[in-house]
């Protein structure tokens, strides 16, 4: 049976398992994709995704139906990933500053040959601090001010983390390209 988005939302608000399963089945791939960017392994990403869906179901009443529902869900998932990051804050600062002594440049056209999985691997190999700042800034489109507020860090720290993340990613792409 095909349900409309309104019916699914209504069902989820009323704790109907069928509606919850329909919602999960419809969106879990995309939500897992987001979680994979924020986590270092698939297992961790799956756990974050499940926590994210729990948050989605429990906060469904707060969805005001003005914006895109999927966009709202993605924000909840990203916030869950940020919460997960906060729990593991001990890994936050990981300086690889020595790696950035030499500026490396990679040709944009060479990068197209990598698969999404390979590209994702490079992000997952970043330390958690780099990864979350890079994701929030480069992919979600948050400003440094917003990142600083969300993560409780200074704007300069956010900029530094982003810079280092970019450098590391570039380095990894070059390495992959050379292999």
Nearest-approach distance from CB 92 to other proteins, in angstroms? 19
Residue 136 in contact with other proteins, rule: CB under 8 A: no
How many alpha carbons lie under 13 Å from residue 21 in its C-beta half-sphere? 5
Cβ contact 59:88 at 8 Å = no
In angstroms, give the least distance from the CB of 101 to other proteins.
Answer: 14
The least distance separating other proteins from the CB of residue 86, rounded to whole angstroms, comes to: 20
C-alpha distance from residue 82 to each of 12, 65, 109, 159 (Å): 24, 24, 33, 18
Position 162 contacts other proteins (CB under 8 A): yes
- Residues 49-78 close enough to bind other proteins by CB under 8 A: 49-50, 53-54, 57-58
Number of alpha carbons in the 13 Å side-chain half-sphere of residue 43: 0
| 21, 59, 91, 94: which one binds other proteins (CB under 8 A) | 21
Identity of the residue, 32 or 81, whose beta carbon is nearer to other proteins in the bound complex: 32
Distance CA 5, CA 23 (A): 9
Shortest distance, position 94 Cβ to other proteins, whole Å:
18
Transcribe 27-46 into DSSP letters.
Answer: HHHHHHHHHHHHSSSHHHHH
Residues 6 or more apart in contact with residue 168 via CB below 8 angstroms: 96, 99, 126, 130
Verify binding: residue 14, other proteins, rule CB under 8 A.
yes
Using the contact rule CB under 8 A, the part of the chain among 9-17, 61-69, 77-85, 89-97 near other proteins is: 9-17
Which is nearer to other proteins, 79 or 140 (by Cβ)?
140
**Which single residue is written with the structure tokens 């698939």?**
42
Residues of this chain that bind other proteins (CB under 8 A):
11, 14-18, 20-21, 24-25, 28-30, 32-34, 36-37, 42, 45-46, 49-50, 53-54, 57-58, 105, 108, 111, 114, 116, 119-120, 123, 134, 137-139, 159-160, 162-163, 166-167, 169-170, 173
């Amino acid at each position: 049976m095909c349900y409309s988005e309104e019916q699914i939302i209504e069902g989820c608000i009323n704790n109907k398992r069928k509606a919850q399963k329909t919602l999960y089945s419809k969106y879990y791939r995309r939500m897992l994709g987001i979680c994979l960017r924020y986590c270092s392994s698939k297992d961790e990403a799956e756990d974050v995704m499940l926590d994210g869906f729990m948050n989605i179901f429990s906060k469904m009443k707060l969805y005001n139906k003005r914006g895109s529902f999927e966009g709202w869900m993605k924000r909840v998932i990203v916030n869950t990933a940020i919460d997960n990051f906060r729990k593991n804050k001990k890994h936050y600062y990981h300086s690889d500053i020595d790696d950035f002594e030499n500026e490396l440049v990679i040709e944009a056209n060479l990068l197209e040959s990598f698969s999404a999985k390979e590209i994702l691997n490079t992000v997952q190999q970043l330390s958690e601090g780099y990864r979350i700042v890079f994701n929030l800034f480069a992919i979600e489109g948050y400003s440094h001010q917003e990142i600083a507020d969300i993560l409780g860090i200074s704007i300069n720290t956010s900029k530094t983390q982003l810079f280092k993340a970019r450098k590391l990613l570039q380095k990894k792409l070059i390495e992959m390209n050379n292999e």
